[in-house]
Structure formats: C-alpha cells, structure tokens
Structure 1
C-alpha cells in the first residue's frame, strides 16, 4: 500500500476525478484529448504551490489564469463551468485565488490579495479544488518533468526512466531553487536521484532531513540507492527529469 503522501499527491497513479460537462472521467483517459481548463478535487490542505505542483504532474499542464476560468462575456465575468455550491477558492496564475462557489452570491472574483491560508497546509473547507490548463506556449515540453515510478526505485531505474523520455536526471540546482523544490515540498521523507554524481540523492520532503539537502555529504552514498532486491521504500519513488 502506498504511503499517504503518495496517495494524496499522485492522483495520476490512481484515477482522479475530473469534472467536465461530459461527466466524471479519469485524468489518464482525458489528458491527451482535453484542451480546456480541467477541474479536480485534490485535498483540503492545498496551498498555491502544491496546486501548481499538482498540475505539473500532468505533462503540459499549468495552473489556469483568471481569464481562463472567468472570461468576459456580455460585459461581465462568466465562470466556464457550473458554479459549485458553497465557498470554494482555486489557485490561479500570478499567485491569485479565484472564487468558483456561490457563497458570496456570485463567483468569478479574485481574493483581495494573496491570503495567508494559501501558503499553509492547514485544512480549510474552502480549499481542495484545482484547475489545470494545457500549456499552449511554443515549447510545450516542460523543462522538468515530475513523475512517481514506485517505491522500488533505484538510482539506475530513475536514470533509465529519464533516458526513455529523451531526458536526463536533473542536477540538484535544477530541482531546488532558493532551497525549495520547484514542484513543491512533499510532506514526508522523500529522496530523489540527481545527476550531480552517481547514486547521489536530495531530499524534497519535510521529515527531519533538511529540505533540498544532499544525502552523500551528510550520510554517505546510500546502499538502498543501488539495491538489487526489488524492495519497496516509502521514501522513494519520485523522479525529476530535465532536458
């Protein structure tokens, strides 16, 4: 059984609910054909950063903009889907939050400045939904891809996973910017392989090990990174691949 942080973060591995006009579908079924904003329910502890990280799990997906979710129509902002009953906010580009519920008698307006609850993992009844949009920029291949390949991952498996995509493992400087993983912090012990040297790993979680800290300098190059017994480790499985 996968640890809770993986079940919570990796909705690609299991079927995620996708709310669209044609009914409830799975993310994996729709992600190749859907081009519009796609709505998911993830978890009530969402932050702006984890919302962005959730969307980036799907190739060529980003957070949607306010204009994507609430385009102008007939002189007013019109929400692209049916309003969700209650108070519901979703993260949008520019660190904005958009109301998509009917708690305030109408939807489609921005929060008055970045809310403090948007940066903390505390559960709130008005958080949980995420909108993801397709990247329509000329270069639609993300500089960094982010995947979960299972707890049996080793350094070689991680490296081969990237090579099969025509990529390489990322260097630690690409994974972490200003001591923060570019796809957000995993709320558990989580090590990922990096290109810095063979069998080097860095921490992208918050389990007592320094986030973005290297394994080798502090603990030595790990034996579990090159194990051959196929055993599962609950602190392994994520892979960052770079161009």
Structure 2
C-alpha cells in the first residue's frame, strides 16, 4: 500500500501548497484544473514502475504524465508548468523516462537519457535524495488499441524474431503502454506464464499471462534483461511464443 502524502489537490482557484523533501520546505503557488498534472511525494526509493503504480493506486483514471504534459514547448523552449523546485529532483514520465524538475542543473525540463542515457537508479528501489516526487495526469488514452491481436509464432521466438515478424507485417513491436491499457492486457490475459517482446527498449519483455500475479510486469526492472530473449541456439522456451504488433 503506498503512503500517499498528497502535495497537490484539485482546485480551480489559486492555492498554496507545501513541498517537503529531507527537511526542505518551499511554498509555491499553483492553479490546477481537473485534467492537469497533480504532484505528490511518496518516498525516495521510488522506481519508474513504482511511480506508475503510485498513480494507478491513487486513482485508476490517472497515469504517469508525459514529458509534454510537464514541459510543453512555449516560446521556442521547454517550459516547466509549475514553479521549479530547489535542488536536484527527477520524476518519472511515460516512455520509461525521467525528467528534471529542479534547478540543480540551472534549468529544468530535460530528460536524463538526453544527457547521460537511461539512469540505472530508475529501476533500483534504493534511497536517492533526488527521487520521491510523482506527477500523475488524467489518463486520456483510448481503450481501443491500434494493434493486431496476439499471434503465436512458436517457442523458438526471440526478441529479434518477434521484431522481424512485425516488420514483415508492415508493423512494429508495441510499446508497453499499447500492450497494457489501464494495467490490463489490451487483448486479454493468456493463461499461464507468457512474455512478449516490447519496443520500450531492446530485449525488454512484458508479461501477458496470469502466472503468479505478474500480469503487465516488465521483465527488465524485476529480473533484468533476459539472456533467453537474445539466444541464438534455436532452443524452445515454454514462456515465449506470442507476439503483438502495432501500426
């Protein structure tokens, strides 16, 4: 159960909110609407997955915000939608990315991957002073997903074989957000233990089965990127075989 320390509440009028981080308190003025991003503070051990889970746990109609939600283009540059927090503060956004919302690096609104690559700490539930904040946005993704239903291509399938199968269909591997909509597989749960390749990053897989309550779990953050996903010996693996392709 997440500890919900609410820092931002719905309001159609200006209101004062207090942000707390390791003893630091900053009072900032915000004006929010129902569809706007909401800011929370959970804990400094947050990962990308637990940040996403935080939003889902608090409100099933909200999800992580996108980079554009928090840092839209204004006057030729990325502009943070809120007052910048003092110090170094990173929040998870869609696409397994992290964005700076503090003033540690002079200006906010840049992705970690754009300067230093994907952060290793983003998947590790260890205390970091620059983690803890979560932004949640209204989930406006449509229920219908523009994808072909699961296809079974055999137990010898790998990440590259799955990718090539989609390419030959004039399609591509789906992102995790297209495979799982509102924390459920878009085309239903498959009985048993079944992982399918996703486009989020090379050799990343997501669970579409009902094994051990892991439905919609990413393989990498929990178990690491699997060696079986890139094997070249043509061996059979019981937990692969399905592929899911998107436009």
1:213-240 Cα shifts (integer Å, max 9, x gaps): xxxxxxxxxxxxxxxxxxxxxxxxxxxx
1:36-83 Cα shifts (integer Å, max 9, x gaps): 111111100000000011111212111111111000001111000000
Superposition RMSD in Å:
3.4
- For structure 1, list consecutive stretches of 5 or more residues without a partner in the other structure: 1-5, 26-32, 146-169, 185-243
On the 8 A contact 1:50/1:183 being kept in 2, the answer is no
SS of the equivalent of 2:69 reads helix
Distance 2:191 2:136 in 1: 27
Is 2:76 aligned against 1:99?
Answer: no
Counterpart in 2 of 1:62?
Answer: 63
SS of the equivalent of 2:111 reads coil
On the 8 A contact 2:183/2:216 being kept in 1, the answer is no
Aligned runs of 1:129-144 on 2, under 5 Å?
129-139=133-143, 143-144=182-183
On the 8 A contact 1:56/1:183 being kept in 2, the answer is no
Distance 2:34 2:192 in 1: 33
Counterpart in 2 of 1:51?
Answer: 51
Question: Among 182, 198, 203, which residue is 2:216 paired with?
Answer: 182
Aligned residue-pair number: 145
On the 8 A contact 1:44/1:125 being kept in 2, the answer is yes
Counterpart in 2 of 1:230?
Answer: none
Is 2:123 aligned against 1:122?
Answer: no
Distance 2:90 2:132 in 1: 8
Flag the 1:41–1:10 CA change in 2: closer, same or farther, 3 A: closer
Counterpart in 2 of 1:88?
Answer: 89
On the 8 A contact 1:96/1:111 being kept in 2, the answer is yes
1:119-158 Cα shifts (integer Å, max 9, x gaps): 0000000000001110113349x6558xxxxxxxxxxxxx
Counterpart in 2 of 1:23?
Answer: 16
Distance 2:133 2:217 in 1: 18
Distance 1:173 1:132 in 2: 30
SS of the equivalent of 1:55 reads helix
TM-score after normalising by structure 1: 0.51
